[in-house]
Every structure is written in C-alpha cells, then in structure tokens.
Structure 1
Amino acid sequence: MRKFIQRALAKLPKLDQEQIRHLLIAVAGENERLEVVLDSMTDGVIVTDGNHRIILTNKSSERLVPFVTSDLDEKILWEVIDDREVATFLKESLLSGERVEGVEFTLGHSGSVQTLSFNLMPMVKDGSIEGSLLIVADVTDRRRREARLRRAENLASLTTLAAGVAHEIKNPLGSIGIHIQLMQRSLDRDGCLDREHGLEYLDIMEEEVERLNGIVVDFLFAVRPMNTELKQADVNAVIHDLLQFTKYELQEGGVQVVEEYDDGVPKVELDEKYLKQALLNIIKNAQAAMPDGGSLTVTTGFKDDQVTIAIADTGIGIGEDMVGKIFEPYFTTKEFGSGLGLTVVYKIIKEHGGDISLRSKKGEGTVFTISLPVPQKERRLLDFQGE
C-alpha cells in the first residue's frame, strides 16, 4: 500500500477527481485497518516524532499508562505522564536515544496495583533518529505466577537443603557422641582421664565441631538472599586477575592454564567478588578432576547479546547419569566435599541474570559454560526503515 501511495503521489498532477477520490478512500481504509490492528493489541503502543511529541497511540496505552489528559496529540511524552518516576525514566531514555528493554514499574491504578514493563526503541532512518516506539505491557499476572513458582521452588530447595544438612551433621555428631562416651567410660573406670587420650579425644571433637560449623556456614550461604552489588566490569580482566591469584597452586598441581580472550567482549554488570567465587569453585573442581595434572582452558566470547565464559579441563570427566544432578544440593562426585560448591556457583550466576551449563564425558574432561547478559546500552539501536 505504501508503494502504491508513493506512485500515486508521483502522478498526482495527472490524476482526475475520481482517481484522487479512490486514492483517498484507499488511504482512509489503510489507516482504519492500522487503527483496528493497534486497538486490538493488549500491549500499549505509543509513537513519538523526533521532538518526542506523541503522534500515535492505541487504546491499550491509554488504559495502561497514567496520562494526565486524554488529548495527547503533539504533546511531549514525559510531560503528560501522571507519575514522576515513569516520566523521569522516559525523559532520560528519550533524550539519550538509547534502546531500553524490560524496565518495570509498579503503579497504583484504579484501586489496584499493576506491574508494567516498558520497552523503548529509537527509530533510526538514514543514520538519524526519526522518533521512538514505546511498547507497554501489563506483566502483573506473569510476575505473580513467577513469584508463586519461586516460592514453591524455594520451599522445595529449602526442604532438600534441610534434608541434606540433617544427613551431613549425623557423622560429626555421631563422632562427638562416641568420644564423649569414651571419656565418660574412662572417668567411670579410673576416676580420672589420661591426659594423652583426653587431648586426643578433644582434638577429634574440635575437628568435628569445625566440620559442623562449615556445614552450617555453607547451608546459610545457600539459603540466604545474596546482596549483590552489580557494576560494569571487563570480564576478561576479572578472569585474568583470578587466574593470576591461582596460577601458582595450579602449576604446583601440574595444571597448565590457557587463556583465550575475545577482545571484542563488551562490559557486563557483575559483582566481581561473587563472580570470582563462582569461577574459583569451578577451577578448584577442575583441579581436583586432574590429580595427575592436565590443561585448563578459559575462553570468553560474545554472541546473541550474551557474554560467554567457557572453562574446560582435561580431567576424569563426569558420567552422563550424573551431569543432570551436578548442581543439586549435597550432590558430589568427590570423596571429600560439602556438595554445595556447584550449587553456590549456580546461585551466583542466576543472581547475575545469567545461565550455566556443562558438557562432560567420562575420561574426556568437562566444560562449564557461563552466559551473562549484556547491559542494554551496549546493544545496537533498532534500525527502522520507513519504506
């Protein structure tokens, strides 16, 4: 239709009144179809021109967005928003010209509370911003469902962790109980406790108490919310700094470290302390899987708005039947270990909005791959071609 109108306009001086009438009817019909489509959408749609003035809205936008007036034509968008926080966000985003996705606000509306997701996309033509497209979605029900699901998952996870703790503390408690009984028997039999045996019993009980304390500390870390402080950082630099810290221990174990960084990787928002802890846990697992030495290769990359970190070892690998359980609490393939190390890794990566997976084969090593989202302002603008 657009090309038809452009051709008709080029021939306009040659058109008679009847042809012009048909052209106007066609244009009116096209506009009516556009309005029907827009008004049928459940998401709110607002289009502004290059001066941030409203040129198009649909019914859902007028229902969802708190406007101060019903007369929106040619009004500057942020000046007609009846919410200071939303208005400030829109003003800053529009003036910056950046693409923004999934920014959510919780608003009181008609006696109820709604969670709205704002997606703002600059419309670029011939290298300059011609306007902006704002899409507003009501995600209230989705967030409620997600909250219910998280509560159910947290309860299930807490139940699993509690069962794991109960199992883990049995052995140290049993050991402490046995040595207390041995001390009592010595006292009942001889009326006194041999110093050498007494110190031996106390040393063992002290070790078991420390073990219990470690179990409790790991449990609390696994269940407590993490207070992450996300700041933009260079992933390559963070990893290199960590490997410099661990290289001597790895070298002592006969592990050769290979670093393969993609210099084009953009910065990501992360808590350096927690990310290093997650990576260190993976590296220590890799080292334990290579008791006779081997190779540890750390690679970074960038794909589909995700920064990837791959940590590959040449160790003993993990059986296929165990791969699906590796992030579960208290699951471990090692003789000594809390079984919470990779659970903590999983939690840290999820707190960063990322994901983690692994590939492994018995006798061929293991590869952990971490994906972290790139901040929105690092992403490209929406290329809008108005043809």
Structure 2
Amino acid sequence: MAFQLIRGLSSGTAPYFSLALLLLVLAYLLSAATQDTSRLSDLFLYIFGLGLVCLLLLAIILGRGLYRLYRDFKRKAPGSRLTLKLVSLFVLLIVGSTSIVYGFSVHFLQRGINSWFDVKVEQALEDSLELSRNAFGIRMRTLLRQTRMMAGVLSELPDARLSHSLRELTQLSGALEITIWNTNGQLVVSSIENPAIFIPEAPDDSIVRRLLQGEDYIGLDPAANDELELSAAVMLPRKSILAEERYLHVSFPVNDHLSSLGKNVQDAYTDYKELSYLRKPLVTIFTLTLSLIVFLTMLASIWFAVWISRRMVQPLQELAAGTQAVASGNYNMQLTASGHDEIGFLVRSFNQMTQRLTQARNASDRSHRLLEQQTSYLTTVLGSLSSGVITIDNDLYLRTANVASSKILGVNLQQRLESSLDSLGKLNDNLHSFSLLIQNYTFKAVAWQQQIELQQTKGRQTLMCHGTPLPAETGWVIVFDDITTLLQAQRNAAWGEVARRLAHEIKNPLTPIQLSAERLQHKYASLVPPDQTETLQKLTDTIVQQVEAMKDMVNEFSDYARSPGLQLEKVSIGQLLREVLTLYQSHANHQFTLLNSPAEIRVNVDKNRMRQVFHNLLKNAIEASEEANKSVDIVISYHLIMQQHLPWLEIIINDHGPGFPKDMVDKLFEPYATTKIKGTGLGLAIVKKIIEEHGGDVWAENLNPDGAGIIIRLPLEED
C-alpha cells in the first residue's frame, strides 16, 4: 500500500501541485516566525515537519527524474549522455555555490545573533530602566509626602467637613481621585475628577495589609483605557482609641510622555531578557531552519537542473530521432520548432531539409517511374525483336541482353549479366568466336558491320552483326541477326528458279530425242551390215536410257521447283512410318527397327509429302550403306519433346553407314550437294523443303563411332 501510494504521488502532475502548496504554507509559517521570534519555538515543529514532507516529496520527484535519466543512459537513448553531462555540471555548480552560501550564512547567523546580546547593550538597557525607575521614584516620594500631608490635615477635620475638604484638596493637588476607606473596605468619603466614575474601586487587599503593617504605599497602577496612574495610600491618624481605622487613597495622573518612555524601556528590557534567554535555542532553530531551506533549495535546484537539461536536450533528441528516421528513408519527418534560439533555427533548418528531401525524393520517384516505364517500354520493344541486342561497357562487360540474343546464341545471357566477354567466350567455341569479333572491332570507336559463321548442332549458322558506340563513350550496343534462314531461302529460291528453267528447257527436247533414237533403231536396223547391228542397238539403247535418266532428273527438278499446296490432315506418325517400312522389308539383307513411342502421337501433315520425305531418307540410307559395303541396319524412332514450352514431334533415322564428311554436314540439304556416286543431289534438298513447308526443321549429324543420323522436328501445335 505504501509503495502504491508513493507511486501514485510520484506520477503525473499531482506531486508538483502538492509540492507548490506545501512550499506556500512553509513560506507563510517562516514569515510568521521571523516576524515574531516569540512564536518561533511554537511554530518550529510545524515548520520542521512540513519541511521534511517537502523534502520527501521533492526527493521522490527528483528520484524519478534521476531514475529516468539513468534508464535512458543504460539504454543508450539519444541525448542521454549530453543530458547526464549537463546535469553533472549543474549539480556541481549548485552544490558548490550552495555550500559556500550555506557556510557563510551559518557563520553570519551565529555571529549576528550573538551580536544582539552585547554586554554594553544590556548595561545600557539596565541603566535606562534604572533611570526611569529613579525618575518615577522621585515623583512617587513627592506624591507620598503630599499624601501624608493630606492625611494629617484631614485627620483634624470633623466628618462633616471631609467631603468639602476632599474637593478642595483634589483641586489643589491635581489628583484624579481622593478617597477615604475604612479597613473593612467601606468607602467613607470620596472626591473624583472623572465624571465617568460614580463609585470608585476599593484598593487591593495587599495595599490594605501593607497599611495595617504600618507601611505606606506608593506605586504605578493601571487605570482605565490602558493608562497608568500613581496610587498612594496612608493611614489616617485616629482621634481616639475607639475610633475606627481609616486610610487615605490618592490617585495622581502620570505624565504621558514619561509614561510612554518608561513603558518602552520596560518592554525593550523584557524583550531583551527573553531573547537573551532564548539565544542558544534561537541559534539552533535558525540553523536547522536555514539547513532545511538550503536543502530544499538544493534539491529543487537539482530537480530544476534535471528538468532544464532534459528540456534543453529534448530538441536534440528529436533531431537525432528525425535524423535516424531520415536515414531509414522517412523523408516526411517534421519536428516542432520551439523558440527562436540556435536550436530552434536548427530544427527549422532540419524541417526545410526534410521538405527538400521529400521534394527531391518525389522528383526522383517520378523520374524512376518514368525510367521504369521507358525501361519497360524498351524491354518490351527489345523482347519483341527477332534481332539479338546486347550492350557492353568500355571494359567489355555484358550489361543488358534481350531474349532474342539468348535464343540466337543458344545461351541464357540474362543469367550472365555483368560477366566479361572473355568469361562468356569460354562457354563454347561459338561464343568464343562471337566475343573475339566484338573485341576486334570495338577498339576502333566507330560503327562497324561484320558477318560471322558459327557451327551449331543443326548446321552452320550465319550472323550479321552491327556495332554502334553508345553516347558519351559509355559502351557499345551490338545488334545481330540470324540470317541463316534468309540465306538458305535465297539459295533455295535461286535453285528453284534454276530447276524450273532447267526443267522447262530440258524436258521439251527429251521426248523427240528418245523417239528419234527408237525410230533410228527400228528403221535402220535392217539396213546396216550384220556386224554393225549390235553396235547400233547399243547406241540407240544408250540414248534411250540417258533420255530416261534425264527425264527422271527433270522430274526431280520439277518437284524441287514447284510449291503445291499442302493437304494437311491428322495422321498417326507411327502408322505412317509402318506403312512406308512395309515397302522395304522384302529385302532379306535389309534390317529396319521402329522404336514406337509409349503414347500415340498424331500430327497435322500432308500424308503424301511426308511419305516422299521418308522414302528419300530411307533410300539415301540404304544406298550409302551399300556403297560402303556395310550392312543395311536402320533404326527409326519418334517421341514427344518440349521446345520453348511447346510440344514437338522428333523423328530420328540412324544408319550404320560411313557417315557424312565433316565438310559436307552443313551443305547436305543444299541442291546438288551429295556424297553418292549416283544421284542428282536434290533428294535431301526436297526433304528440307517439305519439312520447312510444315513449319519444322531437319538436320544431320554423324554418330559415334560410325553411322549417320537425320533428325526431323515437327510442331504439334499450330504456331
């Protein structure tokens, strides 16, 4: 419960209001005690207790501030070290200056209080009091003799004349009141000058007892309106023994100025004696009070030092937090500017900086978005190009590459960005030749154009390369196109035109030549001598056979030159291959093996044209094996493959013949390119032409250790 109470008092603004109220009460009590030292001893306990409460509350507030400062320092919060340094400096300054003032104040207090009780001052007060007493003594002795004389005169008069005589004596003596009393306290006769008093008060019993003892009385007694008067009382002589005892009581006025001086001297002397008696307690009480006030002031000053230090460092902490926020990317940070000092100027400068950073970031974001849009646009454009486009820097490092460049070169260049051309050239021979070409021309710093031939699996590949330096000499852009198909198409078109013209020019005279040879043999066989008949027969037969051969060659030229429309239909490729192979399985020395695919594959082709393809390929394989005196062993397989995420049909025809010469592999599918002793060299050219008409591709390769293979790929989906 006590801990919760202290915690509740030390939280929020309640401690500050409570402390302010207690300090006001303490200040009031101290003011009252210092104005009246006689109340100091009575108020000391209240002052000391209230001071202890203020000390406790202030210690709680200060302890909370110091604990927060220690916690921030342990957590290495921004600004905690500077706050601790400022607090330490303030505390040293406060403790040092307060200690000096406290020591001087205690010394001055003790010396000052002791100086109040100087011996000369005390003697002067006593002399003044004695002087006033002597002055009053002379006056009182005079009045006492006068009273005795009145008593002697009155004792001779009869009672009837007493009242008249008293009035005369009152007027003559200047007395305020003259009364005669018996010892029983009964008034005999009186004369009073004050009209407000009708019945005088009887003198005090002590005066009566003193008179009865034979002593006269003279003294300074209080009167009405807090004034003083001199009272004298003497016994009246008795006329006879039987007469009652009476005494005369006379009241004389006191001089106002003399009375005031005497009273002041008496009061001063009384106060001095009281202070002299309380000298040591006063020193102790004042010292304790001063210590309490100094301790309160010191704690309050330390608390204020902590508060003002945190107040001074707070803008710096906000600046540190804002700087960290800006460093983390939050450029919208704005601080609250307080004051017009240097720190306020720094805060306003920070806000201006963040505003400018925000504007710069927004401008950068807009530029970045525009750059991204332009980059995306350029990437889309480059990605849609069929030409390969790459950029390199001056150090010959690859910076960008589009999809077509990877497709043309057969290497994923997007995964090898920031690689040098030397490292790319080590991947394969084609890239080595390509990189050497770029290195040989980029040092000239002018635009260049060069054609290069690369050796691929499907044959020779021809690239047309263009190099252009980038602006500000930051690198090069290389654009290259695969013109292999274009060159092949040009050659095919040229050969087609040649074949068409040859077929047209040669086919017309062949029939008359053949008919003329047959007619010569028929007409002149009987006319020639018998020994020349056989010669004529051989000559005419040779002419007819060569004409037939020429007709076959012309028909092949016609087949190569013409481009009839394809009659496409869904065909089971396995069934089509088996139908073609049945025509060649009658020969006992010919071995054919068909490796069927696990799943049936149907392809959209021209059935008759594909039969022509398979016949040409099988015929070439058989003739190549027979010319090399090797057994005819042909293996045919077909299966489904994925190429560029699309399904393709791949057909492979392998034989165990001598294979193709290395210098002929790239030219096999060109017209009149043949390795056979017989033949026109148009068979494989026709095969390639038909496959390309179907949107496919065909190429040849040698097998290891011997043999050759033809690979055909046809798309299974329309592209």
TM-score, normalising length: structure 1: 0.51
1:355–1:370: 8 Å Cα contact kept in structure 2?
Answer: yes
Q: 1:266 Cα shift? A: 4.5
Deviates more, 1:219-228 or 1:323-332: 323-332
1:253–1:293: 8 Å Cα contact kept in structure 2?
Answer: no
Match of 1:332 in 2: 674
**1:120-157 superposed Cα distances (whole Å, 9 cap, x missing partner):** xxxxxxxxxxxxxxxxxxxxxxxxx9998687434432
Question: CA-atom RMSD, angstroms?
Answer: 5.2
Q: 1:161 Cα shift? A: 4.4
Aligned counterpart for 1:351 among listed residues 658, 679, 693: 693
* 1:287 maps to 2:619: no
CA 210–267 in structure 1, closer or farther in 2 if over 3 Å, else same: same
* 1:216 maps to 2:554: yes
Q: 1:354 Cα shift? A: 0.9
Which residues in structure 2 correspond to 1:86-235 (within 5 Å)?
152-158=490-496, 161=499, 199-235=537-573
Q: 1:163 Cα shift? A: 9.7
CA 152–328 in structure 1, closer or farther in 2 if over 3 Å, else same: closer
* 1:242 maps to 2:591: no
Match of 2:604 in 1: 269
**1:45-91 superposed Cα distances (whole Å, 9 cap, x missing partner):** xxxxxxxxxxxxxxxxxxxxxxxxxxxxxxxxxxxxxxxxxxxxxxx
Aligned partner of residue 207 in structure 1, secondary structure: helix
Give structure 1 stretches of 5+ with no counterpart.
Answer: 1-17, 44-144, 378-387
CA 333–160 in structure 1, closer or farther in 2 if over 3 Å, else same: farther
Aligned partner of residue 585 in structure 2, secondary structure: helix
How far apart, in 2, do the equivalents of 1:207 and 1:358 lie? 33
Match of 1:319 in 2: 661
Q: 1:324 Cα shift? A: 2.5
Q: 1:36 Cα shift? A: 5.6
1:357–1:368: 8 Å Cα contact kept in structure 2?
Answer: yes
How far apart, in 1, do the equivalents of 2:487 and 2:707 lie? 35
Q: 1:265 Cα shift? A: 6.4
CA 42–319 in structure 1, closer or farther in 2 if over 3 Å, else same: closer
CA 256–146 in structure 1, closer or farther in 2 if over 3 Å, else same: closer
How far apart, in 2, do the equivalents of 1:294 and 1:155 lie? 35
Give structure 2 stretches of 5+ with no counterpart.
Answer: 1-331, 334-357, 382-482
Match of 1:299 in 2: 637
Match of 1:13 in 2: none
1:317–1:366: 8 Å Cα contact kept in structure 2?
Answer: yes
How far apart, in 1, do the equivalents of 2:718 and 2:489 lie? 29
1:164–1:330: 8 Å Cα contact kept in structure 2?
Answer: no
Residue identity matched to 1:300:
Y
Q: 1:225 Cα shift? A: 1.1
1:161–1:330: 8 Å Cα contact kept in structure 2?
Answer: no
TM-score, normalising length: structure 2: 0.29
1:218–1:340: 8 Å Cα contact kept in structure 2?
Answer: yes
**1:236-282 superposed Cα distances (whole Å, 9 cap, x missing partner):** 22222222x22423xx2512222112224643321111112101111
Q: 1:368 Cα shift? A: 0.7
1:317–1:363: 8 Å Cα contact kept in structure 2?
Answer: no
More strand, by proportion: 1
How far apart, in 2, do the equivalents of 1:315 and 1:37 lie? 54
Aligned partner of residue 709 in structure 2, secondary structure: strand
* 1:278 maps to 2:613: yes
Q: 1:350 Cα shift? A: 1.0
CA 223–269 in structure 1, closer or farther in 2 if over 3 Å, else same: same
1:298–1:310: 8 Å Cα contact kept in structure 2?
Answer: yes
How far apart, in 2, do the equivalents of 1:229 and 1:42 lie? 37
Residue identity matched to 2:608:
K
CA 149–274 in structure 1, closer or farther in 2 if over 3 Å, else same: same
**1:8-31 superposed Cα distances (whole Å, 9 cap, x missing partner):** xxxxxxxxxx99xx9xx9x99998
Residue identity matched to 1:229:
Q
CA 30–266 in structure 1, closer or farther in 2 if over 3 Å, else same: farther
**1:300-358 superposed Cα distances (whole Å, 9 cap, x missing partner):** 12232321100011123222223222222123222222221111111111111111111
How far apart, in 1, do the equivalents of 2:371 and 2:600 lie? 44
CA 303–39 in structure 1, closer or farther in 2 if over 3 Å, else same: closer
CA 195–226 in structure 1, closer or farther in 2 if over 3 Å, else same: same
2:503–2:558: 8 Å Cα contact kept in structure 1?
Answer: no
Q: 1:374 Cα shift? A: 2.0
Residue identity matched to 1:248:
Q
* 1:259 maps to 2:601: no
How far apart, in 2, do the equivalents of 1:346 and 1:283 lie? 14
Match of 1:122 in 2: none
How far apart, in 2, do the equivalents of 1:232 and 1:190 lie? 62
How far apart, in 1, do the equivalents of 2:377 and 2:675 lie? 57
Which residues in structure 2 correspond to 1:355-370 (within 5 Å)?
355-360=697-702, 364-370=706-712
Which residues in structure 2 correspond to 1:16-35 (within 5 Å)?
none
Q: 1:227 Cα shift? A: 1.7
**1:360-385 superposed Cα distances (whole Å, 9 cap, x missing partner):** 269811111111112059xxxxxxxx
Identity of aligned residues (%): 24
How far apart, in 2, do the equivalents of 1:342 and 1:254 lie? 24
Residue identity matched to 1:239:
L
Deviates more, 1:208-217 or 1:232-241: 232-241
CA 334–146 in structure 1, closer or farther in 2 if over 3 Å, else same: closer
How far apart, in 2, do the equivalents of 1:326 and 1:213 lie? 23
